[in-house]
Chain A
Amino acid sequence: MSAADVTSTPLLKVSDLVKTFGTEGGLFSKGVPVRAVDGVSFSIRAGETLGMVGETGSGKSTLGRLVLKLLEPTAGTIEFQGTDVTRLRGGRARSLRGNMQMVFQDPYGSLNPRMTIGELIREPMVVHGYGRDEITARLESTMRQVGVDPRMATRYPHEFSGGQRQRIAIARALVLDPKLLILDEPVSALDVSIQAQILNLLRDIQRRTGIAYLFIAHDLAVVRHISDRVAVMYLGKIVEIASREQLYGAPRHPYTKALLSAVPVPDPIKERSKQRIALHGEIGSAASMPGGCRFHPRCFRARQAAREPSVAVEGWGAESLPSACVREVPDFISIATEHVVACHFSGLEDRFAVTTNEHSNGQAVAIADLT
């Protein structure tokens, strides 16, 4: 797929993964299959963190569950350490999960309230047939590693705060010494002061153990803080993958650019001199997927490209857009080392018009309501 894959066998390699949901009809409607993940490819090397960002409905959480095989993919392959694990079942799937674990967003929902902390952390080891002495030793060392006093092992989840529960969930995921941890919005339910504690903890653990992370989140600043490389998803597809420096310093996909410009920076002077790119309409839905490049209904670059004399255009609603954007799914183009982007006009230089706040609101929102 890209220059990102040239090094030796990656820890995880995902190729053309597809997941389609819900083909049944409802009471009043015929079933429409929803392509939640639609042809996603990426890889993760041992010890690195790949950040996966996207908005609601981008398919990033579904992707995490597919990789861990909590969901069956509709098509595509998942390779772990060079072995195809896509169709593994039963005991072999279980032993794979010893190497791949997951931490969920909600530290309240993901821990069984009737089990003590000790039982919760022990459970994966029991399932994987560890001996009693090893279980005791590992329970203690893992609890220390995540900063929870081992003497707390007899307490129940409700006795802990959100941040502590997330530490316990991380301990439970780490206790089998996995090589890859999938973290699905692990800090977004936490207050900022606690969020920093968990992010620092995850970094410490990675430095010490060399574990790899797939870090799924919507907060671009958090993802930047923890990731080596970052992938951006939009409606079931990855639109751009790059190193952290490239993605945040020289984003190339129009969606990445708009997303980054929308994040408010906690600095009033910078924030108020910043220019934000106005997107057309709102994020579409996977249930009524736009054809061609799925970003074209909201894309500023497509509208700019449509005015170039050399570009073939066609009518789209009241506007004209490039035929390529409306009809063809863009392929990945490599534009720098470890930097790929899926855009028909990735070479076009973006031009913007600056408006002031009072008058910009209409332009920012009024073009199309896509839902």
Chain B
Amino acid sequence: MTSVTALCQPPPLSLVASSGVSSEFALEIRHLRTTFPGPDGPVAIVDDVSLAVRPGEMLAVVGESGSGKSMTFLSALGLVPKPGRVESGEVLVGGRDLMRMRPEELRACRGSAISIIFQDPMSGLNPVFSVGEQIGEVLRAHRRISPAQAKTQAIDLLNRVQIPDARRRFDHYPHQFSGGMRQRVLTAMAIAHGPQVLIADEPTTALDVTVQAQVLDLIDSLRREAGMAVVLITHDLGIVARHADRMVVMYAGRLVEEGPVGEVFAAPRHPYTISLLRCIPHLDAPAGADLMSISGQPPLSGSVRQGCPFEARCYVGRGREECRGTRPQLEAVGSPAHLSACHFSQSLEEEEARA
């Protein structure tokens, strides 16, 4: 052993956006709209969301609970719980629209071309089957292989997700794994068929911080190896800062800001993003200062039917005619890749000084 302790350091930010990212999209969502019935007609939980991820790229989807970030991707995969309904939109994976597929085509596509990891690593595994059997089942769902081949491939997968002693671990049951190891097993299942797109919905929220780092590093290295596009749904801006190339910020079912991670953190152009960044305690901020807080509560997605959904809590727009009456659209601010949906995105500094 030459060095006992490794310090892990991610690549510098400037290199990230260009490395191994091609221009064709692995996943493209266009004008997706999902509604739930409400007392005054359908309520849009996902409201005209468009986004795209390139192969090898990690896109972070940021937002608070109820912002529609998970629902966007459940909608994309045809997994919206009843009585929700995808009203319109296209979801293109490798050029094919998932929305127009027949149920059996969609099932074949899920798990092979696009797959998803959820937050809770326990509920994704069946407690009465061994981990190896469950991975084998996933493998055999889309491919005709013998049990022996399935076992070999399952052990390979356990090795790829860096589970030590994979051959022995194959026969173990979920309760014999720790939370971090279970999340690795689920990751192994999700990548079993080499998907082009992996959606990770708060994959580490239930895990401790030291384990969280390991699982995210694993997802990061898998996407680099395989050129897989990753959508990381999270509320943790620290994780976004470390791992993602681009980010979108959601509020009340809509995208409010989108851009390269370095740009959005350095110069956020939507008051909600700005507030969000200021209200989290930092490990290196002067301790003892009060945190900025956003007044009020986030609205339920779709409950604000006109104007900007953030208006009631916004330090710039609260009570303003424009913000109450007209829904702002995403527009380029600064660079072409950086978009913000705010009437005042070009003059936020002056507006803030005035407020």
A interface residues, Cβ below 8 angstroms from B:
55-56, 161, 163-164, 191-197, 199-200, 203, 218, 220-222, 224-225, 244-245, 248, 258-279, 282-283, 300, 303-304, 307, 319, 350-358, 360-369, 371
* Number of inter-chain CB pairs below 8 Å: 221
Whether the Cβ atoms of B213 and A371 lie closer than 8 Å is no
Which chain B residues border A367 with CB–CB below 8 Å? 164
Q: How far is A222 from B291 in the complex, measured between Cα atoms in Å?
A: 11
Q: Which of B51-59, B106-114, B277-285 binds A?
A: B277-285
Interface size class of B (residues with CB under 8 A): 35 or more
Q: Which 3 A-B pairs have the closest CB atoms?
A: A264-B238, A353-B3, A225-B281
Contact status A266-B280, CB under 8 Å = yes
A191/B179 contact (C-beta < 8 A), A262-B213, A264-B236, A266-B237 known: no
Least Cβ distance of B315 to chain A in Å? 12
Contact check, B209 vs A55: say whether CB atoms are below 8 A apart.
Answer: yes
Of B6-14, B36-44, B335-343, which binds chain A? B6-14
Q: What chain A residues lie within 8 Å of B11 (beta carbons)? A: 272, 356-357
Query: Contacts A271-B242, A276-B9, A304-B4 known; A282 to B64 CB distance under 8 Å?
Result: no
Tell me the B227-245 residues at the A interface (CB within 8 Å): 235-242
Closest A residue to B222 using CB positions: A361
Residue in B8, B164, B238 whose beta carbon sits within 8 Å of that of A278 in the complex: B8
A129 to chain B, nearest CB (A): 37
A248, A275, A361, A371 interface centre (most CB from chain B within 10 Å): A361
Contact (Cβ within 8 A) A362 B242: no
Q: 23 A-B pairs, CB-CB below 8 angstroms?
A: A191-B298, A193-B294, A194-B293, A196-B281, A200-B290, A262-B209, A266-B282, A267-B265, A269-B265, A270-B241, A273-B12, A278-B6, A278-B8, A304-B4, A352-B6, A360-B6, A360-B217, A364-B213, A365-B217, A365-B218, A366-B164, A369-B169, A371-B178
Return B120 CB to nearest CB of chain A, in Å. 14
Contact A355 B9 (CB under 8 A): yes
Instruction: Look across to chain B and name the residue whose beta carbon is closest to the beta carbon of A57.
Output: B208
| Further 12 A-B residue pairs, CB within 8 A, beyond A225-B281, A266-B238, A352-B5 | A248-B287, A268-B265, A269-B13, A272-B11, A276-B9, A276-B213, A282-B211, A353-B5, A353-B7, A361-B221, A365-B218, A371-B181
Contact string against A for B residues 102-137, beta-carbon threshold 8 Å, 1 for contact and 0 otherwise? 000000000000000000000000000000000000
Cβ–Cβ < 8 Å partners of A267 in chain B:
241, 265, 282
Cross-chain contact of B280 among A196, A220, A245, A279 (Cβ < 8 A): A196
**Interface contact A196-B7, CB-CB below 8 Å:** no
B8:A276 contact, CB within 8 angstroms: yes
Instruction: Write the chain B residue with the least CB distance to A267.
Output: B241
Q: From B162, B210, B293, B298, name the one whose CB has the most chain A CB atoms within 10 angstroms.
A: B210
Task: Say yes or no: A357 contacts B8, CB within 8 Å.
Answer: yes
Q: Which of these, B2, B221, B280, contacts A192 with CB under 8 Å?
A: B280
Enumerate chain A residues within 8 angstroms of B208, measured Cβ to Cβ.
55-56, 218, 283
Q: Does A272 contact B10, Cβ atoms closer than 8 Å?
A: yes
Which of B224, B283, B291, B292 meets A220, CB within 8 Å?
B283
B165: A residues at CB distance < 8 A? 369
Residue pair B5, A303 in contact (C-beta under 8 Å): yes
Given A192-B235, A279-B210, decide whether A353 and B6 contact each other with a Cβ distance below 8 A.
yes
Once the chains bind, are B65 and A191 in contact (CB under 8 Å)? yes
Bound state CA distance, A224 and B289, in angstroms?
11
Closest A residue by C-beta to B165: A369
Which of A268, A279, A307, A360 neighbours the largest number of chain B CB atoms within 10 Å of its CB? Answer: A268
Tell me whether B297 is interfacial, beta carbon within 8 Å: yes
B8 touches A360 (CB 8 A): yes
Tell me which of B6, B169, B279, B297 contacts A363 (CB under 8 A): B6
Quote the shortest CB–CB distance from A290 to chain B (angstroms): 15
**Inter-subunit contact A193/B64 (CB<8 Å):** yes
With contact pairs A264-B242, A366-B164 given, residues A355 and B8 touching in the complex (Cβ less than 8 Å): yes
Check if B302 is an interface residue, CB within 8 A of chain A. no
Q: How far, in whole Å, are A277 and B169 apart by their CA atoms in the complex?
A: 27
B329 at the interface (CB under 8 A from A): no
